[in-house]
A = this chain, B = another copy of it.
Amino acid sequence: MKAKFKQQLREAGLKVTGPRLEVFGFLQKHDLTTVSSVIRECAAGADRASVYRTLALFRKLGIIHDVVAGGKRMIELTDRFASHHHHLSCLECGRSETVSDQALESDLDRISKKNGFRQVSHQIDISGICARCQDRSPR
């Protein structure tokens, strides 16, 4: 996966640099994360400004995308660098579970086609209370 990443950069005439590897590595370890986490955790290997520039670049290259999970803005690797999935976000504990569902995917395709839309990507976030939190504070 890291090889594919390097290849994509080189094919675009871009350099494989320390900050880019650092940020990419972090994103691989923490699939769903925030900009401020990346800044904080990559501080040793990448200046704040470089993190912003790197994230902007990754976005443009389709390496990451922005999503909302549990009402908060997050970033994560796109399907090319992580398996396609969606999120169930718990509003109480903040954790996000990952789901994949074929029927869901077909519906989204059908809807896109019906509207003459050429789909590039999609994202789904289900917010609610996870099983564990329901047990802990029953209602």
Contacts and interface: CB of A to CB of B under 8 A. Distances in A.
Instruction: Tell me whether chain A's interface is mostly helix, strand or loop, or mixed.
Output: strand
B116 A122 contact: no
A68 to B, nearest CB: 5
B101 A117 contact: no
Interface string A93-134: 000010101011001101110011111111111111111001
Contacts of A130: 115-117
**Can you list the 6 inter-chain pairs with the closest CB atoms, starting with the nearest?**
A116-B131, A119-B128, A120-B128, A122-B126, A118-B129, A104-B107
10 contacts: A59-B71, A66-B71, A66-B72, A68-B68, A103-B107, A116-B131, A117-B128, A118-B128, A118-B129, A123-B127
Given A104-B107, A121-B126, 16 more contacts: A59-B71, A66-B68, A67-B68, A88-B112, A88-B117, A97-B117, A101-B107, A101-B111, A103-B103, A104-B108, A108-B126, A116-B131, A116-B134, A118-B134, A119-B126, A122-B124
